[in-house]
Structure 1
Amino acid sequence: MVDTKLYVGVYQGPDIPQSFRVYAENVQRYLPGQGVSVIPFIDKRSLPKSVDVLWDIRSGGGNPPPHFLLGNHLPPLVVTVHGFAPVALNGWEYFRTLKGLIMSERYANRKRALWEDAHTAVAGIIAVSAFVKEEAVQFTNVSAEKIYVCHHGVDKEVFTTQPGVEPEGYFFHISNGEPRKNIHRIVRAFRRLRRNHNAQLVLKLPEHSARQYEGIDGVRVITGFLKADELADLYCRALAFIFPSLYEGFGIPIIEAMACGCPVITSDTSACPEVAGEAGLTVDPRDENALLEAMLAFCHDMKNRPERVASGLRRGEDFSWSKSAQCHVGVLRKTAQIGCRIDES
């Protein structure tokens, strides 16, 4: 039996990264079946007038909700927080420029100040991992009691095993190419691997960050749009997926790879070990030797690969967009009961 209909205004502004849109679309497709009606809006002018709760899906990089969502006489506000990478990492690791190194502390302080102004208007935070919840407590001034962990999911109709497909001897990496994705260390470790092994490295990156890796021996760079089934095929045929990020709020590619039967090498920091569990081979992402040893393990010890594949498949079963949507609905219904914000000053 479905609870009373819940009307949710979902902020989908023009500045939302594609990965956030994928998250929101996957969660929202399960909401109507749980008695939730979604009313999207993109700015203050299109703010819906009669909803039970407002939901901002796009808080990443330490950014608080936009100011127009913080006023009085509005429905309760729920914010999905994806992470605080530019606040948590030092300037060189996040920006990898001298200007970024110099400006990073000022940037972080500004984001903290904005959250200081915003936190009293936030009725609830959906953190995409327990790691992000800990950081939200630290950086937003929102109390832990108002922060709920709802893990992401994986589309198992697309990201699944392909019976009969054997690994083709390449390590695979996909990301947005930001410095925190640690691609320069992946490539350095791989070039050392190539001295004695005929492995390949396939990088799926945006064009602007791919240029510097073109022409490197053994490296194949893919740019441009990939359909989901094409991405799944790359996972299925890879020797292993390598994802040693310096910072991840969640890391959806980890569970996409596992669901496809692709073993995962990932970081022992941020949300990566939380998501990978015991199924992932975790390493210190700042240790190039550790990355090399992890890749060598898959080159030398193929007999243990099936065990890692099976472990990853079991871990992948722990995540689904349906389960994630149920968690979201619980948070949205709970915060909707708070009622309209009023000025208590």
Structure 2
Amino acid sequence: MVIDNLARGLASRGVAVTIGCVEQDGTMQGLDIRPVKPQAEAIAALAQAVGATVIVAHTSPFFEVLPALQGAFSCWAWEHGDPSPAFFGSDRRMREEVIRHKQERVYPALAGVVAISEFIAHDIGWPQAQRIFNGCDHVPDRGSKGLQDFPLGDGAPLRIGTLMRIGRGEARYKGLQSFLDLAAAVRASGLHADVHIMGRGTAEDAKPFHTAGIHTHLNATDDERAAYLRGLDVFVSPSLWEGCNLPLLEAQALGTVGLAYDTGAHPEMTPLLAATARDMLSLVQAYAHDRGLLRRHSLLCYRFVRSTYRWSAAVDDTVRLLGLTAGIAPAPLHSRTPARRDSWLGTHTRKLIWSLRAEGVVGAARRTKAYLSYHMRKDRSG
């Protein structure tokens, strides 16, 4: 998703992009995609053949090859991060060694490192990394939801859902069990709700969710995904680690409240966080009993991500940082600054989490209502 949007955006600005990869599945059409082995000689030959002067790697093992190419080319590591080795068992030491090798032998040898979030810059152990944030406007903008999307007193169930790959490989940090536990807690609380999950996986992967009475949607198209996220009342991310939670951004960009745990990059991605599973359930219960609150928070989330995460901004920042257009001098990246994040999002999330712990979600939501409205007005006025 990131490479697709960046490559198309750069091409629209006259910057030719060739994508080298080990293999492809044919889903990215209209781009110059070529097979290349993760070896310095093969990458150099491809770069010379297409006249490239800048090489950007997005994953291992391409990261590890870059130091041998630096000098002949301007080489950059674009870090999306990796889940903490603590989530894994037998290969934990190998993962730790990969991280250590990049810190000691890869990053220092390059022209620079790009991180996709404030969290990732620190999680990879390279806080001096440049920040270029992903966009969310690849999903259609259908506007914020109106009163018709939150009917009061009609007996309709609250639609709660998530979107994630549901295979076993990511279960440890994607929070699959946490989502199953939330579904059980919702059912035990007596809420009139339907719980859904959408994701890549097999029928075998989906069995635990079917057994738990969760509506399961497998391997959807982009249009089906957008319709699903728009149709939810509440999107929940149970993930325990994210460098950038694209489904969380997409749901909010489609007008749906986005809830996540206070972990990873989530404090940068949504103004609504839960410190514990109990807090998450309390938020859901509050929305079930107060659709007006749900509508206001949906509007808050929609405005936040649509104004903050734009692919055009990511492309502009890339052009400036990598010096891809002649005559453009290096300039400060115009993405969110730490000062703005601390004064707006950071302060709000800390206040909301504190309120949840102190007095429960219903009281906290009422107590922070004026606070949220104030910041929404302040943001619109600049």
Q: How do 1:75-90 residues align onto structure 2 when only pairs under 5 Å count?
A: 75-87=73-85, 90=86
The Cα shift of 1:328 comes to 1.3
2:8 maps to 1:29: yes
Q: Distance in 2 between matches of 1:29 and 1:335?
A: 16
The CA deviation at 1:148 is: 0.8
Taking the TM superposition and a 5 Å limit, the aligned residue runs for 1:25-174 are: 25-42=4-21, 43=36, 44=39, 45=42, 47-49=46-48, 50-58=51-59, 65-67=63-65, 70-71=68-69, 73-87=71-85, 90=86, 94-95=87-88, 100=89, 102-136=90-124, 138=125, 144=128, 147-155=129-137, 158-161=140-143, 164-166=148-150, 169-174=158-163
Inter-CA distance 72–148: structure 2 relative to 1 (3 Å threshold): closer
Q: In the alignment, does 2:195 pair up with 1:187?
A: no
Residue equivalent to 2:212:
216
**Distance in 2, Cα, partners of 1:263 & 1:143:** 31
Question: Which residue does the alignment assign to 2:27?
Answer: none
Per-residue deviation, 1:156: 5.3
| Cα distance, 1:199 vs structure 2 | 0.7
Q: TM-score, normalised to structure 2's length?
A: 0.69
Rounded Cα–Cα distance in structure 2 between residues aligned with 1:69 and 1:106: 21
Alignment length, in residue pairs?
290
Q: Report the RMSD for the aligned CA atoms in angstroms.
A: 2.6
Inter-partner Cα distance in structure 2 for 1:28 and 1:253? 21
- What SS does structure 2 have at the residue aligned with 1:329? helix
Q: Tell me the equivalent position of 1:283.
A: 274
Segments of 5+ residues of structure 1 without an aligned counterpart are 1-21, 338-345
Instruction: Call closer, same or farther: CA 1:143–1:266 in 2, change over 3 Å.
Output: closer
Offset of 1:206 from its aligned partner? 2.7
**Map of 2:320 onto structure 1:** 330
C-alpha offsets along residues 197-230 of structure 1, whole Å, 9 cap, x if unaligned? 221111113324323222213x111112x22221
Gaps of 5+ in 2: 22-35, 152-156, 329-382
1: distance between equivalents of 2:4 and 2:243? 18
Describe the SS at the equivalent of 2:16: strand
Higher relative contact order (Cα pairs below 8 Å, separated by 6+ residues): 1
Is the alpha carbon distance of 1:211 and 1:322 closer, same or farther for their aligned partners in structure 2, counting shifts above 3 Å? Answer: same
Pick closer, same or farther for the CA change 1:135–1:64 going to 2, 3 Å.
farther
Corresponding residue of 1:297:
286
Query: Where do 4+ consecutive residues of structure 1 move more than 6 Å?
Result: 334-337
Structure 1's 160 and 112: CA in aligned 2 closer, same or farther, altered over 3 A? farther
Contact 1:158 1:228 (C-alpha < 8 Å) held by counterparts:
no
Pair 29,110 (structure 1): closer, same or farther in 2 beyond 3 Å: closer
Structure whose residues are more often helix by fraction: 2
Provide the TM-score with structure 1 as the length reference: 0.76
Asked if structure 2 preserves the Cα contact closer than 8 Å seen for 1:171 and 1:238, the reply is yes
Contact 1:242–1:266 (Cα < 8 Å) also in 2:
yes
Which of 218, 224, 229 is the aligned partner of 1:230? 224
Identity within the alignment, %: 21
Q: Give me the whole-angstrom Cα distance separating, in 1, the residues matched to 2:180 and 2:300.
A: 27
Give 1:309-328 correspondences, 5 Å limit. 309-317=298-306, 318-328=308-318
1:302 CA displacement: 1.4
Q: Is the 8 A contact 1:126 1:149 kept in 2?
A: yes
- The aligned residue for residue 197 of structure 1 is 191
CA distance in 2, matches of 1:135, 1:64: 20
Partner deviation per Cα, 1:221-274 (whole Å, 9 max, x = no partner): 1112x2222111111111100013211101111221111110011121110111
